[in-house]
Amino acid sequence: MAETVGEDGTARKDHGVLYIGMDLGTSRTSIACSNGVRETVASVVGYPKDVVARKLLKKDLLVGQEAFDNRPALDFYRPLAHGVIKGSDGKGDAEDAKRNLQAARDLVRTAIGLAKPRKDELLYCVIGAPAQASIHNQRAIIEAAREIVDSVMLCSEPFSVAYGLDRLTDVLVVDIGAGTTDLCRMRGTMPAAEDQLTNTFAGDHIDQTLLEQIKAKCPDGQVTPNMVRQWKERWASVRDTIEPIRVQIPVRGAPTEVDITDAMRTACRTLVGPIVDGLQELISTFDPEFQDRLKNNVLIGGGGSQIDGLSDVVEREMRRRLGTGRVTSVEEPIYAGANGALKIAHDMPAEYWEKVR
């Protein structure tokens, strides 16, 4: 069990190989590793605002729930938005973009640290990154990971989901994240640009719509995006009939019960139309002889796939618009991307890993 040390004093990586699969998402970052570790953290990063906060928190960096819980004392970052690192398009404030980039790096580093790797094992990591991530984004992700791992590769998120489930041909993967919904057509080869579509009707859009709906129903109620997100995570549903959802909302300081059942259903259903639009586009541009296969092989993954009844309602809408459709949700929405990335890492030949070190 003891690790061996090389002539230069560093641990020799001769004990084994640890594969890490990571799904770097707008809302959550998950890892699955070949040592059995599976972890997920909220994709948020915080740095103590001042010396007092640093002394109190005894840390220079907080990630995930810990950052959420201490956010009044922190410079708080949610570094990914709409599937990419905020500000990386060069449109916003340069200083803000720089900070978000650094926060994304710290998020990647922390996520890899959660794998609890041994010092004497080779670390090979595949990161499922947003398909539309820019070179700057990908560079930041790769550089952050390379500080810890021996070799790292990126691949598109929906592809890793499909690979993990061995669904490589004639399947349509819908990956519903917080910032974007990615649709990917798998046809046995690496998906090309025309095989992938992205829209922003995703988790954040539901939150925004739900917030607006609640504000319209209860104009004096004090509701924060975080409260709305928690309600969504607990009760999201698109079903025609659902149990009444009643929440407590402070109105002029007094907790007031508000029924948000219809608001929740309406907000969640805003995803259905754009998903079926995307599916229709990817199906209609496919070989007509194989279109039915695609229609009957739709796989929904990502955090959004936890919306109760979503696969049924998408299937119903597909039947209405496309004549037929069969939709299934992945078994483990939080880890499907990371599991797939882990499988890719495992299957990747040794010489490829060596060449990208």
Partner 1 sequence: MILGLANSLFRLFREHSDVVSVDKLKKDGVRSVTVLDWSRIDQLIAKAVDEALKKRGVELPADALQSVNQQAREAFARLLEQRDLWRDSAQTLEQQKNELEANLNRLVVELDTARSQLTREKSHRVTVADVAVGRAQMDSFALRLKDGLVELFKGSSADASPELARAAAELAEHLLADEKARALAAAKQEQDARIDLLERRIAKLNGMLASSDQLVERLKAAKSLDPGIESEFREVQGLNTADANAGAKRGLLEQIFKLNVELREAIGKDSPPAGGSAAAPR
The candidate with the shortest Cα–Cα distance to 270, out of 177, 207, 326, is: 207
How far does the chain reach from its first CA to its final CA, in angstroms?
26
For residues 184 and 218, which CB has a smaller minimum distance to partner 1 in the complex? 184
| Residue 172 CB-half CA count within 13 A | 34
What is the smallest separation between the CB atom of 15 and partner 1, expressed in angstroms? Answer: 8
What is the smallest separation between the CB atom of 91 and partner 1, expressed in angstroms? Answer: 13
Helix/strand/coil (H, E, C) string of 200-251? CCCHHHHHHHHHHHHHHHCCCECCCHHHHHHHHHHHCECCCCCCCCEEEEEE
What is the smallest separation between the CB atom of 323 and partner 1, expressed in angstroms? Answer: 29
Instruction: State how far the Cα of 133 lies from the Cα of 130, in Å rounded to an integer.
Output: 5
What is the smallest separation between the CB atom of 345 and partner 1, expressed in angstroms? Answer: 9
For residues 88 and 198, which CB has a smaller minimum distance to partner 1 in the complex? 88
Tokens at 173, concatenated: 């993967």
Burial of 177 (0-12, 13-18, 19+ CB in 10 A): buried
What is the smallest separation between the CB atom of 246 and partner 1, expressed in angstroms? Answer: 19
What is the smallest separation between the CB atom of 255 and partner 1, expressed in angstroms? Answer: 22
For residues 49 and 217, which CB has a smaller minimum distance to partner 1 in the complex? 49
How far are the Cα atoms of 74, 87, 112, 147 from residue 123, in angstroms, in the given order? 32, 30, 10, 11
For residues 75 and 277, which CB has a smaller minimum distance to partner 1 in the complex? 75
For residues 106 and 213, which CB has a smaller minimum distance to partner 1 in the complex? 106
Phi-psi region of 196 (alpha: psi -120 to 50; beta: other; left: phi over 0): beta
For residues 37 and 322, which CB has a smaller minimum distance to partner 1 in the complex? 37
What is the smallest separation between the CB atom of 63 and partner 1, expressed in angstroms? Answer: 12
For residues 16 and 323, which CB has a smaller minimum distance to partner 1 in the complex? 16
For residues 321 and 346, which CB has a smaller minimum distance to partner 1 in the complex? 346
Three-class DSSP category at 308: strand
What is the smallest separation between the CB atom of 219 and partner 1, expressed in angstroms? Answer: 30
Q: CA 19, 137, 54 angle in degrees (round to 5)?
A: 80
| The dihedral sign for the CA sequence 273, 85, 168, 305 | negative
Tokens at 31, concatenated: 């890892």
What is the smallest separation between the CB atom of 97 and partner 1, expressed in angstroms? Answer: 6
| The dihedral sign for the CA sequence 219, 259, 200, 155 | positive
The candidate with the shortest Cα–Cα distance to 195, out of 221, 170, 220, is: 170
For residues 138 and 280, which CB has a smaller minimum distance to partner 1 in the complex? 138
